Structure formats: C-alpha cells, structure tokens
Amino acid sequence: MDTTSLHTRPWSRRLRGALDAPAHWEILDIPAGPLADAVESLPLGPYRDALRGVWLGHPLHPALVQLPLGCWMSAGLLDFTPGGRRSADVLVAAGLLTAGPAALAGWVDWARLDPPRRRTGLVHATANITGVLLYAGSLLARSRGRRVRGRVLGLAGLAAVSAGAALGGHLSYRQAAGPDRAAAVPRLAPADWVGLGPVENFPVGEPTRRMAGELAVVVVRDGERCHVLAERCAHLSGPLSEGTVADGCLRCPWHGSEFRLRDGEVVQGPATAPQPVFETRVLSGHLEVRLPGAG
C-alpha cells in the first residue's frame, strides 16, 4: 500500500507552488499601485462598505461570485444536454450580468490588501476577466447561431474562471485575505477577570497596549471609564494601539478601519467583523477586564 500522503505527492506540491507563485511576482506591483488608487477613488460613498460586506459581518465578494459561477457551470452542463441549448444561452447571459457586482465587490476588497496578496488578487482578477471575455464571445457566437463556437468559448471561459476561483480560494484560505483575524480572541482570552494595572497609568484618549494573560489588548481611557478591545485588528491584524481615537472610535493605522469603542462595531471598513470588546471593572483604582464567553 502506498503510504505517501496526498499532499506530499509531486503534483500536489507543484499545484500549491503554482498557486503561491503570484504572491512573489513583484513586477505586478507596477500596475497594482495605480489600479488600487483608481479603485479607491471611485465615488462609491456608503456603497463601498456595503460592497465589502460590513453589513453582513464578512466579505460579500465570495457570496456574489456564486451567481456567475453557478450560471456558467450549469450552462456548461446544459450545452451537452438534449434540449438544453436555450437554457444554456440564458445562463451564459445571466452569468455575464451577475459578474459585474461580484467583480466590483472583489476590486473594493483587493484595493486594501498588502502587496503579496494584491499580486495574487491581480492574477485572480485577470483569469476572471479572461473568462468574462470568453463568455461574452460565447454569447455573441450563440446569438449568431454558431453553436459549436459558442460551446467551445463557453468551455474555455469555464476553465478561466475555474482557475480564477482556485486562486481566489487560495487568497482567502491560504493567504487569509478575508477572514476575521480576531475570531480566535475568545479562545485566547483568559476566562476570568484579569488585572491590567492602575487606571491612572492609562493616558486619557491615547491607545495603550497591555497583555491580558497571553492576549494583547488595547486600552483607551475616557475620563474614569476605560474601553478595552483586542489589540490586533480584525481586518489584517494591524496594531490598534498605534491607531488614533476620534468620535468614540478607534482607527486602525494600517488601512483605516474604525471600530466603535463602546461595542467594537465596524463604523468604517475595510474590516467587516467587529473587534472583540472586553468587559471592564475598576477595583481599588485598578483596571480589570474579562471577555464574556472567553475560555
């Protein structure tokens, strides 16, 4: 019996190497910078955070991409099913229509990534744009009655968007571009009250880093009241103790996410998940904290 694990086989290593490779292609930084600036300057207003998925609590892009991918995969099957031609044509068109919002949400997320993830994202987007163009050609061919060409272009489009999806999955799960980086906080935080020191040691309105057991937290003193949040930003783990405080919010120094001090809710993205907030109490002038549900 072959005891070699699947993930140690040469083809598996080559596949993972291929998915990892774009993150190292520094030449992609040349177009990535101006492109990110262009995306950031789009006049999206409050729709920018809506596209990010702040209202949903996690990125919206992965949910939206199900629409075009589902349409196109179904079209691929119907193309080879007796009587399925017309439905396949409709699904190819529906995929093209729904690809727009999915792509816009993706670009908005992409613009605030760091350079290695941006490079992977750019290759992911290029594969998907190629797929969209191939599907547009497929639809055109279908409308002119050139069924074989329409099918072939559709299959080529499916291959392109599948490659894009593989890179998107790698970007999300291997390179952790979208997850809530603070999700582990309840498991890392001490289960009981833990002291952070005398209240008078915390300067008013200035974020201050402390350790609560093994977990870094940031303390913001507001008069006699102290707000305590997890130190690492839910977006990409930026150090919130180096951020700024304004209007009852703490702003991350890396990409500008703003979290309400009172409850950690996202007031401005790119973070989509709220920042964990600790309960506080003051005993004999000493600040103590605990996280409800921790441990």
Q: Which residues bind ligand FES (CB under 6 A)?
A: 233, 235-238, 252, 254-257, 270-271
Nearer to ligand FES, 190 or 256 (CB): 256
Please say whether the beta carbons of 167 and 21 come within 8 A.
no
Nearer to ligand FES, 87 or 237 (CB): 237
Nearer to ligand FES, 177 or 215 (CB): 177
Least gap, CB of 125 to ligand FES (angstroms):
20
10 Å CB burial of residue 99 (0-12, 13-18, 19+) is buried
Map tokens 């980086």 to a residue.
181
Least gap, CB of 271 to ligand FES (angstroms):
5
Q: How far apart, in whole angstroms, are the C-alpha atoms of residue 127 and residue 121?
A: 10
Nearer to ligand FES, 88 or 229 (CB): 229
Least gap, CB of 90 to ligand FES (angstroms):
40
If you write DSSP's letter for every residue of 149-218 in order, what string do you get? HHHHHHHHHHHHHHHHHHHHHIIIIIS-SSS-TTTTHHHHS-SS-EEEEEGGGS-BTS-EEEEETTEEEE
Please say whether the beta carbons of 227 and 208 come within 8 A.
no
Phi, psi of 285 (to 5 degrees): 80, 0
Which tokens hold the place of 290?
Answer: 């605990």
